[in-house]
Amino acid sequence: GENVEQHPSTLSVQEGDSAVIKCTYSDSASNYFPWYKQELGKGPQLIIDIRSNVGEKKDQRIAVTLNKTAKHFSLHITETQPEDSAVYFCAASLNQAGTALIFGKGTTLSVSS
Amino acid sequence: DAGVTQSPTHLIKTRGQQVTLRCSPKSGHDTVSWYQQALGQGPQFIFQYYEEEERQRGNFPDRFSGHQFPNYSSELNVNALLLGDSALYLCASSLVDSYGYTFGSGTRLTVV
């Protein structure tokens, strides 16, 4: 079955710096790759997603890139702010909408001011 | 617009007991998925319900069962609780065959 690996497990940056989180997946049939932000005591919140027919997607300070050949995808956060501090999860889903999401183990991002 | 609502928020159970967790999906959503999130880990898929039927199941034992009601709300039942069942249980709703999942805040289950 699908396996998603996420690195790093922890990431500390200064306010205004960029942060990059990387994930690899094992099943070439996966075609949907969302990123979730989870704050303490809350459920995961979708921040951006990408499908396999797209190589890059941006939404203000957040961008995701996908390399299908290498089976890896990355989250890029620019101009980080203290409120970006949270746990970030990548996930992958097989080639049919509505199928289960397979999550990475998460990255704890700390942004210090 | 109400999001996904889960109840209770916290509960403590004794090993061997049974527990029922509840989820009301986001308005307009008809599919409910359940995930288990152990401390420091990513969520793991338990199962998904659509049209009151279990549509897909992850690698969880039969002690984990569920139900979906005609109003699309759902319950997760866990029998013969083990200490290892202690986790945050997340409910996610979506529209059938769509990619947009909305998660609730979860139920924190502690088994002692």
B104 touches chain A (CB under 8 A): yes
Q: How far apart are CA A73 and CA A86, in angstroms?
A: 19
Q: How far apart are CA B5 and CA B108, in angstroms?
A: 14
As given in the structure block, the two tokens for residue B55 are: 């549509």
- Choose the mutation target among A36, A38, A42, A95 for the interface with B, i.e. most B CBs under 10 Å: A38
Q: What is the DSSP letter of A18?
A: -
Q: Which residues of A touch B50 (CB under 8 A)?
A: 98
Q: Which residues of A touch B96 (CB under 8 A)?
A: 98
Q: How far apart are CA A43 and CA B93, in angstroms?
A: 12
Q: Cα–Cα distances in Å, from B42 out to A18, A84, A108, B20, B69? A: 23, 19, 12, 22, 28
- B48: nearest CA partner in chain A: A100
Peptide bond into B43 cis (omega under 30): no
Is the Cβ pair B45, A101 closer than 8 Å? yes
Any alpha helices (H) in B2-109, and if so which ranges?
none
Is the Cβ pair A91, B94 closer than 8 Å? no
Half-sphere exposure of A18 (CA within 13 A, CB side): 9
What pLDDT is stored for residue A95 in this prediction?
A: 66
Distance from CA of A41 to the nearest CA of B (A): 7
Is A112:A14 a contact under the CB 8 Å cutoff?
yes
pLDDT (tens place) for every residue of chain B, 112 residues total = 579 999 999 999 999 999 999 999 999 999 999 999 999 999 999 999 999 999 999 999 999 999 999 999 999 999 999 999 999 999 999 998 888 899 999 999 999 9
Q: Residue A49 — pLDDT band, cuts 50, 70, 90?
A: very high
Is A46:A104 a contact under the CB 8 Å cutoff?
no
Share of chain A above pLDDT 70, in %: 98
> To the nearest 10°, the Cα dihedral for B6, B11, B14, B20?
-20
Nearest by CB to residue A44, choosing from B40, B55, B103, is B103
| pLDDT exceeds 90 at position A98 | no
